[in-house]
């Protein structure tokens, strides 16, 4: 394996605003509840079920890490609480190698605030990682940001 770095390339862990990431679908909208006052909106019946955001491809050292995906519903869901609304993932190799993933359902989220949806993952050696949110197209969904902490920030959880 060859790992190529670039001058000034960012290293994880850190916080990334969803509106600053790449996306295949969705729209950046104003949202006073979002940390940067903007979020990425996936609108059911309008945006196709593909990635609302992905990236930022930061270098991570080996070890255990946790990522918090801050998400919320936009408008009351027209479905039961167990309906899946998104798939969150941590991946490398342009998305081919997934370290961890989780399905997010209506019951995991709320309308009035962003809730952190957590993924804990372990990487065996230095990798360039991206985080992504796949919109499933079933209910309106807002993505605010992703916050990553390393094993030092997870004391008592390991």
Q: How many whole angstroms separate alpha carbon 21 and alpha carbon 153? A: 24
Condensed to tens digits (0 to 9), the pLDDT of residues 16-70 reads 999 999 999 999 999 999 999 999 999 999 999 999 999 998 898 899 999 999 9
Average pLDDT, the chain: 87
Structure token pair of residue 150: 């390393």
Q: Superfamily for 15-154?
A: Galactose-binding domain-like (2.60.120.260)
Q: Residue 107, by phi and psi: left (phi above 0), alpha (psi -120 to 50) or beta?
A: alpha
Helix, strand and coil in the chain, % to nearest 5: 5, 50, 40
6 vs 98 pLDDT, higher one: 98
Domain limits, the chain: 15-154
- At 13, the pLDDT band (50, 70, 90 cuts) reads low
Structure token pair of residue 95: 């998305």
Query: Is the whole-model pTM more than 0.75?
Result: yes
4 vs 69 pLDDT, higher one: 69
Condensed to tens digits (0 to 9), the pLDDT of residues 68-90 reads 999 999 987 765 777 899 999 99
Q: DSSP labels for 23-37?
A: -SS-EEEE-TTSTTS
Which helix (H) or strand (E) is 74 found in, with range?
A: none
Task: Give, in order, the Cα–Cα distances in Å from 84 to each of 20, 60, 63, 109.
Answer: 25, 29, 30, 11
């Amino acid at each position: 394996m060859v790992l190529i770095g670039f001058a000034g390339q960012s290293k994880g862990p850190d916080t990334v605003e969803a509106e600053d990431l790449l996306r295949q679908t969705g729209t950046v909208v104003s949202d006073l509840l979002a940390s940067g006052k903007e979020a990425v909106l996936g609108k059911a019946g309008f945006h196709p079920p593909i990635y609302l955001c992905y990236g930022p491809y930061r270098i991570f050292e080996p070890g255990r890490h946790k990522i918090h995906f801050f998400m919320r519903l936009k408008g009351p869901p027209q479905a039961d609480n167990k309906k899946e609304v998104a798939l969150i993932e941590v991946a490398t190799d342009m998305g081919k190698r997934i370290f961890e993933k989780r399905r997010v359902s209506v019951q995991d989220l709320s309308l009035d605030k962003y809730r952190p949806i957590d993924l804990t993952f372990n990487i065996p050696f230095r990798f360039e990682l991206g985080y992504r949110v796949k919109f499933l197209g079933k209910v309106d969904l807002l993505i605010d940001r992703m916050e990553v902490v390393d094993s030092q920030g997870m004391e008592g959880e390991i």
